Structures are given as structure tokens and as C-alpha cells.
């Protein structure tokens, strides 16, 4: 089974991909950049951008009937690793123990020039 998860409460896909795919056991959410779905704006700074990216993740999970408590793995892409501590502070306020496994990597560029992108895998 492969079901597309889509919500207007998170930014729509800007390419040939789905916001998330539900396999029945896992939900794989595409990377979320910090676009406010209500007006298309991108907040300034890593703290606000991390919060918006995570809000978008939460909206997709909610559409699938899940919460951040279902997340088992995250990948955080940063435009600059010097933003790690500020991102981690917002991230740490979002997830609770037992924390999901995580990778965090610095990349050369992110779509629309944002500072952070976050993808998750959640267990049903």
C-alpha cells in the first residue's frame, strides 16, 4: 500500500514529489522548508525558520493522523553548520524523549535560499 498524504496546512510540493507517502507502517515526509503555507512568506533567521519547518512537518503528520511522537528518524539539512546550536534549541523543544534518531548535515544550498530543511520518517 502506498498512499499520498497532502494538506493545505503545509506548503505544496514545488516539484514532482509528494508531501508524504504513507506505507501503512511508516509515513515518509519530504523535506520541509520554512514556507508559511498561509501566505508563502519565509521567516528571517534560523530560529524562526526551524520553527516554521517543524510546523510544516507537524501539519503533514496531523494529516496522516500522527504527531511528532510518532517520528523515529529525522534528517536536518543546514545551509550553515554554525546554525546548528540555534536549530537544535528549537528542535529540542519540539521532540521529547525518547528522541528520534537524527542526522544533521550542512549542504551547499537549499531551495529558495532558506537556512534549514527537515524531513522525517514516522512509525504508525
Pairing state between β 26-32 and 116-123: antiparallel
Give the pLDDT score at 1: 84
State if pTM tops 0.85: yes
Q: Report how far apart the first and last C-alpha atoms of the chain are (Å, whole number).
A: 13
Where in the sequence is the domain holding 71, given as residue range(s)? Answer: 3-123
The whole-angstrom separation of Cα 112 and Cα 67 is 27
Query: Domain holding 56: CATH number?
Result: 3.30.1330.40
The model's pLDDT over 58-94, given as tens digits with 9 standing for 90+, comes to 999 999 999 999 999 999 999 999 999 999 999 999 9
**Structural domains of the chain, count:** 1
Cα distance between residue 118 and residue 95, in whole Å: 13
* R_g of the chain, CA atoms, integer Å: 13
Amino acid at each position: 500500500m502506498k498512499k499520498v498524504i497532502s494538506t493545505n496546512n503545509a506548503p505544496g510540493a514545488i516539484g514532482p514529489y509528494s508531501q508524504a507517502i504513507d506505507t501503512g507502517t511508516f509515513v515518509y515526509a519530504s523535506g520541509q522548508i520554512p514556507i508559511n503555507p498561509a501566505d508563502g512568506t519565509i521567516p528571517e533567521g534560523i530560529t524562526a525558520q526551524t520553527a516554521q519547518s517543524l510546523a510544516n512537518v507537524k501539519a503533514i503528520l496531523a494529516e496522516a493522523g500522527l504527531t511528532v511522537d510518532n517520528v523515529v528518524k529525522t534528517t536536518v539539512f543546514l545551509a550553515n553548520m554554525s546554525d546548528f546550536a540555534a536549530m537544535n534549541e528549537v528542535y529540542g523543544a519540539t521532540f521529547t524523549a525518547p528522541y528520534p534518531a537524527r542526522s544533521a548535515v550542512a549542504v551547499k544550498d537549499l531551495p529558495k535560499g532558506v537556512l534549514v530543511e527537515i524531513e522525517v520518517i514516522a512509525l504508525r
